[in-house]
């Protein structure tokens, strides 16, 4: 089982038992504002998403050590077209501004580096979401270019900043 231990978090595979915690951020319009997936309005969709996360998908829940609550999730996946590992994350809005996203993101990068042999990384954020840009830069990424990304369903497109990072 993939477990990543940080100072305040345990990063681990999500289970269907985490659905209520995950639904909190997936159903929050403010927390979902710049995400690529649509706003969840039914916890059953959250359960389906979690159940569909196979063992080969590097998606981790961010569990608070102090309480056991899952406050977010993130993944790091290889993107063949970019020949790099893409970092992504989402955090329950009640935990924004406390350093959890940076702590978890750095741990995901370290895990991919040590366990998957990853050396090249990419990440992006909506330009209207500078807090996410702060997380990405704190992890060591450098701005590569500006562009756009869209939600999976094509319902919305966002102006975005795209970053790269190489580790030896």
State the pLDDT at residue 57.
85
Owning domain of residue 26: 4-166
Tokens 């102006």 sit at which residue?
Answer: 159
Q: What are phi and psi of 52, to 5 degrees?
A: -85, -5
Per-residue pLDDT of the chain (168 residues; tens, 9 = 90+): 689 999 999 999 999 999 999 999 999 999 999 999 989 999 999 999 999 998 778 999 999 999 999 999 999 999 999 999 999 999 999 999 999 999 999 999 999 999 999 999 999 999 999 999 999 999 999 999 999 999 999 999 999 999 999 999
State the pLDDT at residue 1.
60
CB 164 within 8 A of CB 120: yes
State the pLDDT at residue 3.
94
State the pLDDT at residue 55.
77
Counted residue by residue, the chain has a size of 168
How many domains does the chain contain in total? 1
CATH number at residue 33: 3.40.630.30
**Rounded Cα gap, residues 110 and 121, in angstroms:** 11
Instruction: Report how far Cα 7 is from the mean position of its chain's Cα atoms.
Output: 18
């Amino acid at each position: 089982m993939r477990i990543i231990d940080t100072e305040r978090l345990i990063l681990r595979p999500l289970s269907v038992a985490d659905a209520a915690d995950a639904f909190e951020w997936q159903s929050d319009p403010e927390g979902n504002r710049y995400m690529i997936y649509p706003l969840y309005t039914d916890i059953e969709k959250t359960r389906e998403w979690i159940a569909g996360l196979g063992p080969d998908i590097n998606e981790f829940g961010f569990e608070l050590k102090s309480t056991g609550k899952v406050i977010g999730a993130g993944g790091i996946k290889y993107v063949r077209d970019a020949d790099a590992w893409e970092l992504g994350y989402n955090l329950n809005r009640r935990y924004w501004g406390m350093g959890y996203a940076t702590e978890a993101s750095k741990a995901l990068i370290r895990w991919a580096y040590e366990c998957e042999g990853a050396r090249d990384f990419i990440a992006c954020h909506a330009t209207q979401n500078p807090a996410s840009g702060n997380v990405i830069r704190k992890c060591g990424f450098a701005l590569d270019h500006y562009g756009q990304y869209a939600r999976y369903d094509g319902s919305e497109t966002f102006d975005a900043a795209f970053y790269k990072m190489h580790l030896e």
